[in-house]
C-alpha cells in the first residue's frame, strides 16, 4: 500500500508541474496573440514620454560639500581639575560624538528648524529683496491656485518678519514647503563613509533658489552647531570676563587711593595716615593677585573654547550657472514605452482572468 501512495503522490506532483507548464505556455500564446495591441500602446507610451521630455521644465542642481572635523582630545586635561576648584568649566575634554556627530548633523540639516531658517532668509532677485519662501512660491506658481482662496490670496513672507508672529496659514504653507523640499528636492549624504565629508544637494526649478538655499542652509546649520557646541565655554568666558573687568575697575580705584594716601604721608609723625597707607597698599596687592588669577583662568577658558570649536571647511560650493537636470529623450522614450506596455499586459491578463471566472459561473 505504501509504494502505491508514493507513486500516486509523485504522479500528482508531475501532473501539477505539467499543468503549470501548460498554463504558462497558454498565457504566452495569449499575449503573443495580442502583440499588435501591446506594440501600439507601447509606441504611444514612448511618444508620451518623449513629449514629456520636451514639456517638462529643467531643474537646477546646487551641490555643496563640506568637511566636519572635531578635536579628539583636549590638551587642557591637566588644568581641568585645578580650574574646577575655582568654579571654572573648561569643557569635558572629549572629542566629537554627542548629538552633533557627523552622522547626526545630516539629520539636523533636514530638520524643520534649519530649513525654515533658510527659507526665511533673503536674497535679491531683479533688484528686489525677498525671502526664499516667497521666491519658492513664485517660481512654483502657487498663487495661481490661491486666487480663489481668500485666506491665501494675500499671504506673503516679507523680509525680516518675526517667526513667532506668523499666522496659522503662514505656518501651514511654510510646513508644506518644508515637506516638499525635504522629501523630493533636498539630498544629504556622505559620499565616503570613511571620511567626514557631507554633501548637500538641492534640485529645484529655479537656479537662484537652488544655489542660495543650499548655501544658506549649510551656513545656518553650521552657525547653530558651533554656537551650541561652544555655549558652555562661552558662558564661562563671559563670566570670567565680567569678573576681570570688575576687579580691574577696583584695582584702578585702589591704585589711585594708595597713591593719594602716600602723598599725604610725607610726615612720619602722622601715624593715622601711615595706617591708612598700609591698608591701601595691602588691598592693592590683594586685588592684583585676584586679578592675575582671574586673567589666567580667563585665558584657559578661551583656549578651551577654541579647542571645543569644530573645524568646518567648505570643499565645494555651487557656482553659477548650475548643472541642469532634465529627462533625456532616449530615457523618456524607453521608460514611457515600457511602462505603457507593462500596464497593457497587466490589463489584458486581468481582463482574461475576470472573463474565465465569469464563464465558470
For residue 279, pLDDT over 80 is answered with no
Report the C-alpha gap between 215 and 117 in whole angstroms.
12
pLDDT of residue 361: 67
pLDDT of residue 1: 45
> Does residue 229 sit in helix, strand or coil?
helix
Burial track 226-252 (b if 16+ CB lie within 10 A, e otherwise) = eeebbebbeebbebbeebbeebeebbe
What confidence tier does 119 reach under pLDDT thresholds 50, 70, 90? Answer: very high
What are residue 198's DSSP bridge partners?
66
pLDDT of residue 148: 83
Q: What are the boundaries of each domain within the chain? A: 2-56+328-360, 59-79+94-230+311-325, 234-308
Average pLDDT value over all residues in the chain = 78
pLDDT of residue 120: 94
Q: pLDDT for 172-189, tens place per residue?
A: 999 999 999 999 899 998
What confidence tier does 248 reach under pLDDT thresholds 50, 70, 90? Answer: confident
Cell numbers for 329, please give them: 529623450
For residue 282, pLDDT over 80 is answered with no
Given phi > 0 = left and psi -120 to 50 = alpha, else beta, which region is 87?
A: left
Nearby residues of 117 by Cβ (< 8 Å), 6 or more positions away: 216, 217, 220
What confidence tier does 102 reach under pLDDT thresholds 50, 70, 90? Answer: low
pLDDT of residue 257: 67
For residue 273, pLDDT over 70 is answered with no
Global confidence as pTM: 0.64
Nearby residues of 171 by Cβ (< 8 Å), 6 or more positions away: none
Q: pLDDT for 149-172, tens place per residue?
A: 888 888 999 998 888 899 999 999
pLDDT of residue 277: 63
What are residue 68's DSSP bridge partners?
312
> Does residue 14 sit in helix, strand or coil?
helix
Q: Which of these ranges, 83-97, 228-242, 290-304, 335-349, has the smallest mean pLDDT?
A: 83-97
Site of grid cell 595716615 = 273
What confidence tier does 58 reach under pLDDT thresholds 50, 70, 90? Answer: confident
What are residue 60's DSSP bridge partners?
204, 324
Amino acid at each position: 500500500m505504501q509504494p502505491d501512495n508514493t507513486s500516486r503522490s509523485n504522479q500528482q506532483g508531475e501532473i501539477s508541474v505539467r499543468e503549470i507548464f501548460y498554463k504558462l505556455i497558454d498565457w504566452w500564446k495569449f499575449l503573443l496573440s495580442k502583440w499588435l495591441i501591446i506594440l501600439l500602446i507601447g509606441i504611444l507610451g514612448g511618444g508620451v514620454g518623449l513629449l514629456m521630455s520636451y514639456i517638462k521644465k529643467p531643474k537646477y542642481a546646487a551641490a555643496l560639500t563640506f568637511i566636519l572635523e572635531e578635536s579628539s582630545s583636549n590638551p587642557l586635561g591637566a588644568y581641568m581639575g585645578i580650574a574646577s576648584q575655582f568654579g571654572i568649566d573648561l569643557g569635558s575634554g572629549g572629542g566629537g560624538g554627542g548629538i552633533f556627530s557627523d552622522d547626526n548633523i545630516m539629520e539636523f540639516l533636514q530638520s524643520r528648524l534649519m530649513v525654515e531658517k533658510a527659507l526665511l532668509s533673503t536674497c535679491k532677485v531683479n533688484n528686489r529683496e525677498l525671502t526664499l519662501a516667497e521666491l519658492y512660491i513664485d517660481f512654483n506658481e502657487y498663487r495661481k491656485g490661491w486666487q480663489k482662496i481668500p485666506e491665501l490670496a494675500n499671504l506673503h513672507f516679507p523680509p525680516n518678519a518675526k517667526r513667532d508672529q506668523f499666522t496659522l496659514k503662514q505656518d501651514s504653507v511654510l510646513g508644506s514647503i518644508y515637506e516638499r523640499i525635504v522629501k523630493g528636492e533636498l539630498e544629504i549624504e556622505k559620499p565616503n563613509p570613511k571620511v567626514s565629508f557631507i554633501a548637500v544637494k538641492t534640485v529645484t526649478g529655479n537656479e537662484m533658489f537652488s544655489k542660495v538655499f543650499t548655501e544658506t542652509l549649510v551656513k545656518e546649520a553650521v552657525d547653530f552647531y558651533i554656537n551650541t557646541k561652544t555655549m558652555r565655554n562661552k558662558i564661562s568666558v563671559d563670566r570670567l570676563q565680567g569678573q576681570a573687568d570688575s576687579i580691574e575697575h577696583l584695582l584702578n580705584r585702589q591704585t589711585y587711593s594708595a597713591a593719594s594716601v602716600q602723598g599725604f604721608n610725607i610726615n612720619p609723625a602722622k601715624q593715622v595716615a601711615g595706617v591708612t597707607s598700609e591698608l591701601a597698599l595691602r588691598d592693592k596687592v590683594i586685588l592684583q593677585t585676584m586679578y592675575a588669577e582671574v586673567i589666567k583662568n580667563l585665558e584657559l577658558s578661551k583656549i578651551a573654547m577654541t579647542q571645543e570649536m569644530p573645524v568646518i571647511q567648505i570643499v565645494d560650493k555651487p557656482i553659477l550657472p548650475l548643472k541642469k537636470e532634465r529627462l533625456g529623450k532616449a530615457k523618456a522614450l524607453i521608460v514611457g514605452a515600457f511602462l505603457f506596455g507593462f500596464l497593457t499586459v497587466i490589463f489584458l491578463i486581468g481582463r482574461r482572468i475576470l472573463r474565465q471566472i465569469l464563464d465558470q459561473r
